[in-house]
Structure 1
Amino acid sequence: MYDLAAIGAWVEFAVRWLHVVTAIAWIGSSFYFIALDLGLNRNVPGPADGEEWQVHGGGFYHIQKYLVAPAEMPEHLVWFKWESYATWLSGFALLWLVYYLGADFYLVDPAVADLPAWGAIAISLASLGLGWLIYDFLCKSKFGDDNTRLMIGLYVILVGLAWFYTHVFTGRAALLHLGAFTATIMSANVFFIIMPNQRIVVDDLKAGRVPDAKYGKIAKQRSTHNNYLTLPVIFMMLSNHYPLAFATEYTWIIASLVFLMGVTIRHFFNTMHSKKGMPYWTWLLTALIFLLVMFLSTAPLWRDAPEDEAAIPAGLEHFAQAEGYEDVHDIVLGRCSMCHAAEPFYDGILWAPKGVRLDSESQILRNARAIYLQAGLGHAMPPANVSFIEEEERQAIRDWYEAATRG
């Protein structure tokens, strides 16, 4: 029978691949149309709002933008929406596979908040849903009439949420959830606001009615938010690979600064594409903010370990009781903990890779599946087999994990 853990790992890989591919398609089309709209030549005669000549792939493209319908509406109108929907759906599926099904490993940290798995999942789901409702309410309220004020208000919400997530979830899950929250806002903007408003405009044009300008104004506001939120979302997606970003007591401040960098970088490109100059000062400001992020990430890197770190985590007793555990415990301590420790002693390693520690019974049991996949079933760990783990030891890891999960 094919190993269930291996099947799960491949399913996760496939969904992650889908998520990355759809995100590339969504972000690519978004950035392209923003650059196109800002760079249109609007000094053209006729009903078109602007035009652009472009060259790509051996051909020339003549692109025109209409704020109102052309003389005849085209029979086939291309809508850019599925990229957004597919990115969110695949990301939500990945959230289930990694953080909900593996809540005891990746979502809950008793040293932060001793939550039951179901409670942490409920907080996750509620924050995503309520977050969108609050954001949407602000956009539609009098507060949202001033775009600058609204953007500042949204930033305050994101900072507050960053602080909240780091006080209920693991550092890794906190940044991932902040990205999921932001991506939910972006995709919901497309699904609930931008696309319905665009359909109203198209229907009015087809019927020969003059569309209400408010629909375009509202869609433009939400599109602008999406524009400035894109780069921070990418950072959050990548952050789980870098404990320097999530394994520090200043994680929420780092996240807050990342959102500022998203604004400065997008401001440069938006200004450049609109042919209003090259504000290079934004790169200097971005570099200074990033230097501050680097400083915060190592000051200090790890929070103090709880007093009961050696205790067996609730729900994982069967791994400690499975046949062969004592041997595996010694193997991991001997072959892995020189790097995966609070204070690594392998030359050149300053902190535990990927934030994974294997220097206590609690940490070994929490990472049982990863140990099995990386060092038992596969040969990814140790890298280049630097600690000379033997095949008999890998077999011992496999036997132990399979005995613990056999039922």
Structure 2
Amino acid sequence: MYEYAIAWEWLSFAVRWLHVITAIAWIGSSFYFIALDLGLVKRPGLPVGAYGEEWQVHGGGFYHIQKYLVAPASMPEHLTWFKWESYATWLSGFALLCVVYYGGADLFLIDRTVLDIEPWQAIGLSLASLAVGWILYDLLCKSPLGRNTWGLMAFLYVVLIAMAWGYTQVFTGRAAFLHLGAFTATIMSANVFFIIIPNQKIVVADLIAGRTPDPKYGVIAKQRSLHNNYLTLPVIFFMLSNHYPLAFATEFNWIIAALVFLMGVTIRHWFNTTHARKGKPTWTWLVTVLIFIVIMWLSTVPKVLTGEEEQVSLSPREQTFVANGHFEAVRDVVQGRCSMCHAAEPVWEGIARAPKNVKLETDGEIAAHAREIYLQAGRSHAMPPGNITDLSPEERQLLVAWYETTVQGR
């Protein structure tokens, strides 16, 4: 079992690295072509059918690029397709989902205080949500609503908010954010696989056969590309969020997710406008900062929004320990709820080494990791994963009070 756990951990690392590499390739090419498309200039003397051109300099050389809205009169012998970056990113991401969240469902996917289900049920819900999400999105795009680009995007935003809330009612906060990213990335990659590339292939086939391509295929592909444009940055946020418990493991995490999608719009609007040479709307950065401040507030907001008291009552014994600066009660909580994994020799099945090499067996180790304990298990519910050791609200409040009154207040 020890060797199996080590091998599984390295497999997770390898797949994660692959996913990052492919995501860089996909997002990088996406950013480049969006900037290129928006920066095209119409000049006299362009070839017949050319929409615009762009001159660029990079790496000591000059590049002259021309774009055809439908296609040139004749096709070159070699045509580079930008599709494998998207496919490889989705496949490696799904592999990572299988290795980390499906393989470790009890730890990372299921929170029995949220929904008490079996691993196979959680995995089934996960897979179904990704498939149904794409089907619903595709039907909306092909419906009469799809003719109104901005109306469609507003409705899709409502769908994403609903999914954010729904995922938090089923999975752990960490898994909910990860799935929201996977849900969005599935739509983006499926756009490439089912719509954008097939439409481009139809145009190429028509040209080879001597037929005039129908412009509608380019219009449809353009709409899907626009959606991918505005969804890219939120997906990156959700990819990174599993390292930041205040984002995914707090009470209003689904509202935070909804605001992240808005920040994706404001940031991309600045880039899109700038690349199109239509000015520099710096107001978008102010709006983004304000939204982020709201997110920070929501991550630790007193429960006035729910009508509940912020503080959980501590027992007289716990109040005494906190007031006197002792942490015997804290040590009991940490050793009882955390040290089965965070130990030199973890006793939790499938854990070969202390996660992130954080050991919480001695007073010194607990004190050294006071800030992490405060953020991960006090201010958020990131730890224990899925609350598998049943850390109570009172115990979490004890950790908060200990850090804020004795550790931070020194």
TM tier, smaller:
0.7 to 0.9
Pick one of 178, 189, 192 that aligns with 2:194.
192
Query: Corresponding residue for 2:28?
Result: 28
* Amino acid in structure 1 at the alignment position of 2:289: A
| Uncovered stretches (5+) of structure 1, i.e. residues with no partner | 312-318, 323-330, 365-407
Query: Corresponding residue for 2:54?
Result: 52
Instruction: State the distance in 2 between where 1:217 and 1:226 align.
Output: 14
Instruction: State the distance in 2 between where 1:183 and 1:18 align.
Output: 16
Cα pair 1:248 1:300 within 8 Å, conserved: no
Query: Corresponding residue for 1:40?
Result: 40
Cα pair 2:269 2:284 within 8 Å, conserved: yes
Instruction: Encode CA deviations 1:195-239: one digit per residue, 9 max, x unaligned.
Output: 000000111112221111110010000000000000000000000
Q: 1:348 to 1:160 in 2, by over 3 A?
A: closer
Per the TM alignment, residue 263 of structure 1 is displaced from its structure 2 partner at its CA by 0.4
Pick one of 142, 145, 155 that aligns with 2:144.
142
Query: Corresponding residue for 2:80?
Result: 78
Cα pair 1:337 1:357 within 8 Å, conserved: no
Q: Is the aligned partner of 1:338 residue 2:366?
A: yes
Instruction: State the distance in 2 between where 1:270 and 1:303 align.
Output: 45
Instruction: Encode CA deviations 1:169-189: one digit per residue, 9 max, x unaligned.
Output: 000000000000000000000
Cα pair 2:71 2:203 within 8 Å, conserved: no
Instruction: State the distance in 2 between where 1:356 and 1:69 align.
Output: 55
* Amino acid in structure 1 at the alignment position of 2:34: I
Q: 1:71 to 1:280 in 2, by over 3 A?
A: same
Per the TM alignment, residue 131 of structure 1 is displaced from its structure 2 partner at its CA by 0.6
Per the TM alignment, residue 300 of structure 1 is displaced from its structure 2 partner at its CA by 5.3
Instruction: State the distance in 2 between where 1:303 and 1:90 align.
Output: 43
Cα pair 1:227 1:266 within 8 Å, conserved: yes
- 1:114 aligns to what SS in structure 2? coil
Cα pair 1:179 1:237 within 8 Å, conserved: yes
Instruction: State the distance in 2 between where 1:347 and 1:257 align.
Output: 27
Mapping of residues 145-294 of structure 1, within 5 Å? 145-294=147-296
Q: 1:349 to 1:123 in 2, by over 3 A?
A: closer
Q: Is the aligned partner of 1:8 residue 2:8?
A: yes
- 1:3 aligns to what SS in structure 2? helix
Q: Is the aligned partner of 1:17 residue 2:17?
A: yes
Instruction: State the distance in 1 between where 2:349 and 2:231 align.
Output: 47
Cα pair 1:339 1:351 within 8 Å, conserved: no
Per the TM alignment, residue 338 of structure 1 is displaced from its structure 2 partner at its CA by 3.1
* Amino acid in structure 2 at the alignment position of 1:291: I
Instruction: State the distance in 1 between where 2:235 and 2:388 align.
Output: 35
Mapping of residues 94-105 of structure 1, within 5 Å? 94-105=96-107
Q: 1:234 to 1:336 in 2, by over 3 A?
A: farther
Q: 1:193 to 1:335 in 2, by over 3 A?
A: farther
Per the TM alignment, residue 289 of structure 1 is displaced from its structure 2 partner at its CA by 0.3
Instruction: State the distance in 2 between where 1:153 and 1:211 align.
Output: 31
* Amino acid in structure 2 at the alignment position of 1:30: S
Instruction: State the distance in 1 between where 2:171 and 2:388 align.
Output: 21
Per the TM alignment, residue 321 of structure 1 is displaced from its structure 2 partner at its CA by 10
Q: 1:303 to 1:76 in 2, by over 3 A?
A: farther
Q: Percent identity?
A: 65
Cα pair 2:83 2:192 within 8 Å, conserved: yes
Cα pair 1:53 1:61 within 8 Å, conserved: yes
Per the TM alignment, residue 49 of structure 1 is displaced from its structure 2 partner at its CA by 1.1
Q: 1:186 to 1:142 in 2, by over 3 A?
A: same
Q: 1:40 to 1:334 in 2, by over 3 A?
A: same
Cα pair 2:74 2:207 within 8 Å, conserved: no
Query: Corresponding residue for 2:113?
Result: 111
Query: Corresponding residue for 1:67?
Result: 69
- 1:44 aligns to what SS in structure 2? coil
Instruction: State the distance in 1 between where 2:173 and 2:367 align.
Output: 20
Cα pair 2:242 2:248 within 8 Å, conserved: yes
Instruction: State the distance in 2 between where 1:363 and 1:333 align.
Output: 19
Per the TM alignment, residue 248 of structure 1 is displaced from its structure 2 partner at its CA by 0.4
Q: 1:196 to 1:350 in 2, by over 3 A?
A: same
TM-score normalized by structure 2? 0.78
Instruction: State the distance in 2 between where 1:275 and 1:106 align.
Output: 45
* Amino acid in structure 1 at the alignment position of 2:166: F
- 1:208 aligns to what SS in structure 2? coil
* Amino acid in structure 2 at the alignment position of 1:262: G
Q: 1:109 to 1:348 in 2, by over 3 A?
A: closer
Query: Corresponding residue for 2:133?
Result: 131
Q: 1:222 to 1:68 in 2, by over 3 A?
A: closer
Per the TM alignment, residue 67 of structure 1 is displaced from its structure 2 partner at its CA by 2.2
Instruction: State the distance in 1 between where 2:150 and 2:279 align.
Output: 22
* Amino acid in structure 1 at the alignment position of 2:376: A
Q: 1:148 to 1:56 in 2, by over 3 A?
A: same
TM-score normalized by structure 1? 0.78
Per the TM alignment, residue 356 of structure 1 is displaced from its structure 2 partner at its CA by 2.8
